[in-house]
A and B are shown apart, each in its own frame.
Chain A
Amino acid sequence: MNALVKEPAVIWTDVGAVTDIPRRGARRVPSPRGDIAVFRTGDGQVFALMDACPHKGGPLSQGIVHGAAVTCPLHGRVIDLATGEATGVDRGTGCAPVVPLEVRDGRLFLGLVGG
């Protein structure tokens, strides 16, 4: 371990209320590392992924949300919201990185890596 390399600190950032996102909807949050897609499912679960489809970078935040998955608006890959992985026949072809997300008192906090 190199003492000079610091663990990057996670900075929790309030990005809005859970209810700002309609059920079966998503919102896009810009970040220094690229856009982040925050999803809310029909059952009220929330997830965050980097807003880039593992296929050709399509903006997942613009897709249709169904169950705990989103269909990419570009070529219709179905991405699992919990893991960011492509599903079905595309399984194993890559994944959109998961972004840490916490709900506190109805507000959404994204865990952004600072440093």
Chain B
Amino acid sequence: MTASRERLVVIGNGMAGCRAVEDILKRDPDRYEITIFGAEPRVNYNRIMLSPVLAGEKSFDDIVINDAAWYAEHGITLHAGRAVTAINRELKVVEAEGGLSVGYDKLILATGSDPVRLPLPGADLKGVVTFRDLDDVDQMVAAADAGGAAVVIGGGLLGLEAAYGLARRGMKATVVHLMDVLMERQLDSAAGFLLTEALAERGVETVLSAQSEAILGEDGRVTGLKLQDGRILPCSILVMAVGIRPNTALAKACGLPVGRGVMVDDQMRTGDADIWAVGECAEHRGVAYGLVAPIWDMCRTLAAAITGDDAAAYEGSLLSTRLKVSGVDVFSAGAFAGGEGCEDIVFRDAGRGVYKRVVLQDGKVAGAVLFGDAADGGWYFDLMRQGADVRDIRETLIFGQAITEGLSGLDPSAAVAAMSDDQEVCGCNGVCKGQITTAITSQGLTTLDAVRGVTKASASCGSCTPLVEKLLKLTLGDDFQAQTGPAPMCKCTHHTHDLVRQAILAQELKSIPAVMQAMEWTTPEGCASCRPALNYYLVCAWPGEYQDDKQSRFINERVHANIQKDGTYSVVPRMWGGMTTPDELRAIADVADKFSIPAVKVTGGQRIDLLGVKKDDLPAVWADLNAAGMVSGHAYAKGLRTVKTCVGSDWCRFGTQDSTGLGMRLEKFMWGSWTPAKVKLGVSGCPRNCAEATCKDVGVICVDSGYEIHVAAPPACTSAGPRS
């Protein structure tokens, strides 16, 4: 070794440290005499591949990046298993374990991060590990060999890969996550839902919205995790994967500026001109990264700068994430926050379990979440980084690069024209394009229904309807008349209410995200018209089992009152069959006084309406009314509202039967039930019909010989008439 060479010391034998050295060697192989310190007692390996090693899909040898021969070949001195303990900037010397000290001209800090350990009681028990290096993997593998259960705290990328690996090795693995969506920083709730299901299929259970309280142990070894709600999850190994903290101890101790990480400029230089920092330990423009892609960018810049290229500058990185769980394709990049000019394109394929969402902003890709088929992740990420204008390819963007580029310049119906005759159009009934076009021409079909009748295409789930319509248009040209079949539920789907309800039962769909995926909703989470409907259908289909979703209910149902034009509410207590008592009336009057309720009105449904109640007063108003024995009249509900009665045979000289009593019985029988729309009843004691029963959803007219029943003649068949 020539004495004239400058001495370069690298602290950290990990992904960043070694890549930086590789990049430097590429640019100027003879410039430096290089020494690398590594706290781990081994050569440089690919840390991200520890997950497949844990899962038993790769061995350590498979993931070594640079073996001993590489260090020798480049004359690099490696001190593996020797952590640096101090940096002396005045003498330009680093001190390492075992009393070794080495002088430097240039120094690179590449010390990575430390995993965060939650300060839970029991955190120091044996069997409580983090997931960062090969030693951690060895501990987990040993635990898995003994069998039993594993708990992983943290439902981010790392935690899920740990849990999957442990499940692959035969353990019963449970992920405990603080948030209500897995990988919530990368996924939206639709993809998070699918991920939860996919992991369950692979033996990984998920406990969401769970706070860990204490780690339990026996004889110094972990035996379980106690959650704040009292649940105990037994385990023989517990992995904490709750985040990382840049390893800045050395830098701090020698007085370099440190924020979250070691602060560096655009050339990766720290506060000391001869000391550089790169990788997870560095903080650049306020960001400390936790993925490898930015590290490669940083290393390139550092190598250029440290070999004399003063123009090199690192400007920060956009990030994308891919989960490494076999068979579960997950990709995420960019942002999904809405904003001016933001637009979602959603594609779902229930059969293949695919969910794709691309967010456009001002005609550019701003973010993407892909689940089940992430092949085009890289393409979207490129478009995003380039800031490419995608308005021209918007129509096919969501189908990916191959289709988009195959069709560029063609109009959308060209995709249909380009299909071969034996390509399948309707998956449910196995109908190909050729069968449909032949039927159209040979039998002179002109409408969607006719095609449905003859070929069965689009007659089942309906998701191929747009395609069949395009075929009709293409085959008939101007003769095609778009036809309006049964209207879809809303613009988020092309399915009708009936079809969705059938599918909920037939496919045992038990949550809103499950319905949206199975029925291929075209929005990430529905709208204000389909969500309440789905919530209702699910309550009906799975009573007791389905958990009502408050956020999918109209405000009136959440507060048991009726929102008015000025944002105040009206409150209508129930009066069974229109009968009341002096006590009830007094209670109502008291409430009206106490809360300064500005208007009191008798409704058309024989009850009393308190109008202009402030939202904040609603709980107290209801408390007082409940205390007086009154319950909500559900004057806002899709459910039973009022049963209007006349006084009937109790008082009226014409009364043939007890219409009041019958009305009360009907009301007590039906109240509180949920219905697809509001329901009102009326009961009159004779055909004089003083209760106007013939214009109710169900009206009863008592006659001497029995009852006349009138059905479905409400005055306002509109969906949401608010009152009475």
* A43 engages B339 (CB within 8 Å): no
* B531 engages A64 (CB within 8 Å): yes
Complex Cα spacing A45 to B336, Å: 9
Q: B453 contacts the other chain (Cβ, under 8 Å)?
A: no
Q: Which residues of B contact A44 (CB under 8 A)?
A: 179, 181, 184
Please name the residue on chain A nearest to B191 by beta carbon: A43
Stretch at the interface among B379-387, B522-530, B622-630, B658-666: B522-530
Q: B340 contacts the other chain (Cβ, under 8 Å)?
A: yes
Q: B423 contacts the other chain (Cβ, under 8 Å)?
A: no
Stretch at the interface among A7-15, A75-83, A107-115: A75-83
Complex Cα spacing A67 to B555, Å: 18
Q: Which residues of A contact B340 (CB under 8 A)?
A: 80, 82-83, 85
* A71 engages B555 (CB within 8 Å): no
* B338 engages A64 (CB within 8 Å): no
The SS class assigned to the B binding surface is loop
Complex Cα spacing A28 to B565, Å: 17
Q: Which residues of A contact B184 (CB under 8 A)?
A: 43-44
Q: Which of B181, B528, B553 has the most CB of A within 10 A?
A: B528
* A64 engages B528 (CB within 8 Å): yes
Q: B314 contacts the other chain (Cβ, under 8 Å)?
A: no
The SS class assigned to the A binding surface is loop
Complex Cα spacing A78 to B491, Å: 13
Q: In the complex, which residues 28-79 of chain A have their Cβ closer than 8 Å to any Cβ of chain B? A: 28, 41-45, 56-59, 62-69, 71, 73-74, 76, 78
CB-CB under 8 A for A64 and B339, given A23-B189, A76-B528: no
Q: Which residues of B contact A42 (CB under 8 A)?
A: 188-189, 524-525
Q: B554 contacts the other chain (Cβ, under 8 Å)?
A: yes
Q: B532 contacts the other chain (Cβ, under 8 Å)?
A: yes
* A62 engages B528 (CB within 8 Å): no
**On chain B, which size bracket covers the interface?**
20 to 34
Complex Cα spacing A64 to B556, Å: 11
Q: B566 contacts the other chain (Cβ, under 8 Å)?
A: yes
* B339 engages A57 (CB within 8 Å): no
Complex Cα spacing A56 to B563, Å: 13
Q: B567 contacts the other chain (Cβ, under 8 Å)?
A: yes
Q: Which residues of A contact B181 (CB under 8 A)?
A: 44
Complex Cα spacing A89 to B153, Å: 47
Complex Cα spacing A78 to B532, Å: 16
Q: B697 contacts the other chain (Cβ, under 8 Å)?
A: no
* B528 engages A78 (CB within 8 Å): yes
Please name the residue on chain A nearest to B179 by beta carbon: A44
Give the Cβ gap from A106 to chain B, nearest Cβ, in Å.
Answer: 11
Complex Cα spacing A41 to B184, Å: 12
Please name the residue on chain A nearest to B568 by beta carbon: A59
Q: Which residues of A contact B565 (CB under 8 A)?
A: 56, 74
Complex Cα spacing A45 to B189, Å: 12
Q: B344 contacts the other chain (Cβ, under 8 Å)?
A: yes
* B554 engages A73 (CB within 8 Å): yes
Please name the residue on chain B nearest to A60 by beta carbon: B567
Q: Which of A43, A65, A71 has the most CB of B within 10 A?
A: A43
Complex Cα spacing A67 to B337, Å: 9
* A66 engages B531 (CB within 8 Å): yes
* B344 engages A67 (CB within 8 Å): yes
Q: A94 contacts the other chain (Cβ, under 8 Å)?
A: no
Complex Cα spacing A67 to B180, Å: 17
Complex Cα spacing A65 to B558, Å: 14
* A63 engages B531 (CB within 8 Å): no
Q: In the complex, which residues 332-390 of chain B have their Cβ closer than 8 Å to any Cβ of chain A? A: 336-340, 342, 344
Complex Cα spacing A57 to B189, Å: 31
Q: Which residues of A contact B615 (CB under 8 A)?
A: 28, 59, 62
* B189 engages A82 (CB within 8 Å): no
Q: Which residues of A contact B552 (CB under 8 A)?
A: 24, 64
Give the Cβ gap from A75 to chain B, nearest Cβ, in Å.
Answer: 9
Q: A16 contacts the other chain (Cβ, under 8 Å)?
A: no
Complex Cα spacing A65 to B184, Å: 18
* A23 engages B342 (CB within 8 Å): no
* B551 engages A82 (CB within 8 Å): no
Taking A24-B551, A82-B339, A82-B342 as known contacts, 19 extra A-B pairs with beta carbons closer than 8 A to each other, sorted by chain A number, are A23-B189, A42-B189, A42-B525, A45-B337, A45-B338, A57-B567, A58-B563, A62-B555, A62-B615, A63-B528, A64-B528, A64-B532, A66-B528, A68-B338, A68-B342, A69-B338, A71-B527, A73-B556, A78-B528
What are 28 A-B pairs with beta-carbon distances under 8 A?
A23-B551, A42-B189, A45-B338, A58-B567, A59-B563, A59-B567, A59-B615, A62-B555, A62-B567, A62-B615, A63-B555, A64-B527, A64-B551, A64-B554, A65-B551, A66-B523, A66-B527, A67-B338, A67-B344, A67-B523, A67-B524, A67-B525, A68-B337, A76-B528, A80-B339, A80-B340, A80-B342, A82-B342
